[in-house]
Amino acid sequence: MANEVVDHGRRRFLTATTAVVGGVGVVAAAVPFIKSWEPSARAKAAGAPVTQSLKKVESGQQLIVAWRSLPVFIVNRTPAQLAALPKQDPRLVDPKSNGSSADQQPKYAQNETRSIKPEWLVMIGICTHLGCVPNYVGEMKPEPFDPDWQGGYYCPCHHSRYDMAGRVYQGVPAPKNMQIPPYHYVDDTTVQIGVDPKGAA
Amino acid sequence: MANAFVRWFDERAPGMAPMYRKHMTEYYAPKNFNLWYYFGSLAILVLVNQIVTGIFLTMNYDPSAAGAFDSVQYIMRDVEWGWLIRYMHTTGASLFFVVVFLHMFRGIMYGSFKKPRELVWVLGMLIFLVLMAEAFMGYVLPWGNMSFWGAKVIVSLFGTIPVIGGHLVEWIMGDFLPADSTLNRFFALHVIALPLVLLLLVVLHLAALHEVGSNNPDGVDVKHGPKGNRWDALKPADGIPFHPYYTLKDLVGVGVFLIVAAFIIFFAPTFGGWFLEHDNSIAANNLLTPAQIKPVWYFTAFYAIVRMVPSFAGTAVWGVIAMFGSIAVLFALPWIDVGPVKSIRYRGTGYKVGLTVFVIAFLSLMLIGTDLTDVLFPKLFGADIDLTTWDNVFGRIMTLAYFGFFVFLWLYTHLGWEKTKPVPERVTTHD
């Protein structure tokens, strides 16, 4: 054995192929471990759609339901609140939700009221600044933070303000309008959050 | 009997005694170490404290979203001496960073990162990085409201990465919000994975150091100086055995450190909300955000950098890049500062000014990150100033100063602008 001539080319080839095959094996073996960090089936199930009846939500009231553990605001907006919406446009960052906030709602909610039915606002109640939950300040009366308050949301963390359609005002830290989740109406008084309407993608 | 055992052991593990001598009684360290050289051994002391107290905390801690908060209260109230063990762990975490920051500053000031100690520095930076991950995950475990929202904000930083960001956040949390799965994996990483990595890195850090030998406040290499000392004719004349000389010196440091630590643990364990935040005494609540979300003090300088960099081209990723860059640039320090003189004692005026500006910038970023500027600025400049603008202007200047130090240092040493003083042949305190 010791006297045989060493075939270096063959040795290099064997070393390289062993290393490559071993490397592929390591990568393949890593896949299950990395995938194990994905949201589990149980977490995804908890992220399943939420169905909510609207029958008992009076005009001007807000209901908070949890969807994917996120607070979802459901508001029955009053005619006065709705009438005030267009008047806010000059003070907003993205009134038509087609600029920086273009991805903050499904296409079917990209309108003046940011909703399917004008009076019903369905929105994820998370401030777009650092993820706090803004307070619902629905009454149209002068507030310390805005003498001309027309109803909306006020974030206690860094004082971001939104109107009654979750559209962010200018001059506050939050960059975008609050997010509208996918949702649709199962019937006239029942809404399902987490599923788009049929035909809309 | 004892001799017989030593002989029996020596025959079976002949390498142990020489290894002990190499790293302890025959490791010749420069004789002129000063106060700044306490912090390496103190870091080991705190690491041991964290491991021992951590092991005992796991015995009563319940790593689940439903049970974590209550189990920490249980440790604090019902477990005998549980409060002490937990306060030793939480105080240790903050003091770890105090010690490590001072240790790193020592390395910068005396040029301990320079050739031939680049590897020692890089391994030390890796320790720092792992330590930050360790501290962040430990902070989440009590599952108070600050734990929850801190986790949400910090993990959301990864969400700013274009394209993959959103999915990455879900992958890190294992859910759509910080949840049971997040807490479980952070617990596993905090008590098993990262401590193992940390211990390995500490061993490598010390092994790399002992290979090249310690630097000293004069920045002269005792290995290149005259040979021959009281113990060995071939070893550096300006070196003394690590044991017993520096073990005893370090013991004095340990004594002082333990007095300070004990004072904090017994009289001010929350340190006025700096070591343990008040909002974390409220259980995690995904529908209620604390009034102010800010990281623990040791992260504030880096976190301030995130806040100071504005969104650009429709993404907020630049702030996150700048934050990671502020740490990455430290890794590269041995190749940024190539000045031949190590110690600040013999370096040019430009270096001294630059380092001072760097320290001011770092401390100022800490002020901004802790929101102390929101208290300070109205007192200094009147109550009716626009805080956001002031914070941004001040913070951006300081962010530029932080990075500017490294740019300056590169130009200063690569282009030969530095006018150094003559470096002595031997350490200045030799006899």
Q: Where are the domains of chain B?
A: 34-292, 294-431
pLDDT value at A1 more than 60 = no
Contacts of B177 in chain A (CB under 8 A): 68-70
The dihedral built from the CA positions of residue A157, A162, A167 and A168, taken in this order, carries a sign that is negative
pLDDT in tens, A57-73: 898 899 998 888 788 99
Q: Which two tokens stand for residue B110?
A: 């005396």
Give the range among A138-147, B365-374, B393-402 with minimum mean pLDDT. A138-147
Task: Look at A69 and B170 and tell me if their CB atoms are within 8 Å.
Answer: no
DSSP 8-state code for residue B241: E
Instruction: Using CB atoms within 10 Å of the CB of residue A170, give its burial: 0 to 12 exposed, 13 to 18 middle, 19+ buried.
Output: exposed
| Average pLDDT, rounded, for chain A | 87
**For residue B136, what pLDDT is reported?**
95
Domain B34-292, what fold?
Cytochrome Bc1 Complex; Chain C (1.20.810)
**Predicted pLDDT at B205:** 98
Distances from the Cα of B250 to the Cαs of A131, B180, B204, B245, in angstroms?
47, 43, 21, 9
Residue A200's pLDDT is what? 62
Indicate the residue type of B221: D
Which residues of chain A are at the B interface, by a Cβ-Cβ cutoff of 8 Å? 37-40, 43, 46-47, 64, 66, 68-71, 100, 127, 130-133, 156-157, 173, 175
pLDDT digits (tens, 9 = 90+) for A71-87: 899 999 999 999 988 88
> What pLDDT digit, counting tens, does each position of B268-278 carry?
999 988 999 88
Listed range (A179-188, B56-65, B211-220) with the worst mean pLDDT: A179-188
DSSP letter assigned to residue A73? E
Query: Which DSSP symbol is given to B311?
Result: P
Q: How confident is the model at residue B383 (pLDDT cuts 50, 70, 90)?
A: confident
pLDDT interval class at B313 (50, 70, 90): low
Q: Which residues of B are annotated as a binding site?
A: 89, 103, 190, 205, 210
CB contact under 8 A, B289 and A66: no
Cβ pair A69:B176 closer than 8 A: yes
Minimum distance, in Å, between the CA of residue A10 and any CA atom of chain B: 36
User: Please, what is the angle between helix B68-77 and helix B82-109, to 10°?
Assistant: 100
pLDDT higher than 80, residue B388: no
**A90-116: pLDDT as tens digits:** 888 888 888 888 888 988 888 888 999
Whole-angstrom distance, CA of residue B368 vs CA of residue B375? 10
How sure is the predictor about B314, in pLDDT bands with cuts at 50, 70 and 90?
Answer: low
Sign (positive or negative) of CA dihedral B58, B62, B63, B68? negative
Active site annotation includes A159: no
| Contact between residue A137 and residue A153 where contact means Cβ atoms under 8 Å apart | yes
Q: Which of B372, B375, B377, B367 is nearest to B398 (CA)?
A: B367
Whether residue B31 is predicted with pLDDT greater than 80 in this model: the reply is yes
| Interval B101-146: pLDDT, tens | 999 999 999 999 999 999 999 999 999 999 999 999 999 999 999 9
Quick one: pLDDT band at residue B308, thresholds 50, 70, 90? Answer: confident
Q: Is the pLDDT of residue B384 over 80?
A: no
The interaxial angle of helices B387-414 and B300-308, nearest 10 deg, is 100
| Residues B362 and B338: beta-carbon distance below 8 Å | no
Question: Quick one: how far is CA A86 from the chain centroid?
Answer: 24
DSSP β-bridge partners for residue A66: A71
The mean pLDDT value for B187-214 works out to 97
More confident: B198 or A172: B198
**Binding annotation of B for a ubiquinone:** 210
Amino acid A6: pLDDT: 87
Which of B167, B181, B311, B374 should we substitute to test contact with A (largest number of A Cβ atoms within 10 Å)? B181
Give SS3 for B192.
helix
Q: What angle, 0 to 180 degrees and rounded to 10, lies between the N-to-C axes of helices B349-369 and B300-308?
A: 80
Tell me how long chain B is.
Answer: 431
The pLDDT of residue A149:
87
Residue B317 and residue B309: Cα distance in Å, rounded? 9
At residue B225, does pLDDT exceed 70? yes
Option in A43, A100, A133 nearest B175 (CB):
A43
pLDDT given for residue A11 in this prediction: 93
Q: Is the pLDDT of residue B315 over 80?
A: no
Percent of chain B with pLDDT over 90: 76
Does pTM top 0.90 for this prediction? no
Give me the amino acid identity at B17: A
- Chain B residue numbers touching A156 (CB-CB < 8 A): 289, 291
CA atoms within 13 A on the CB side of B123: 18
pLDDT at residue B172 greater than cutoff 80: yes
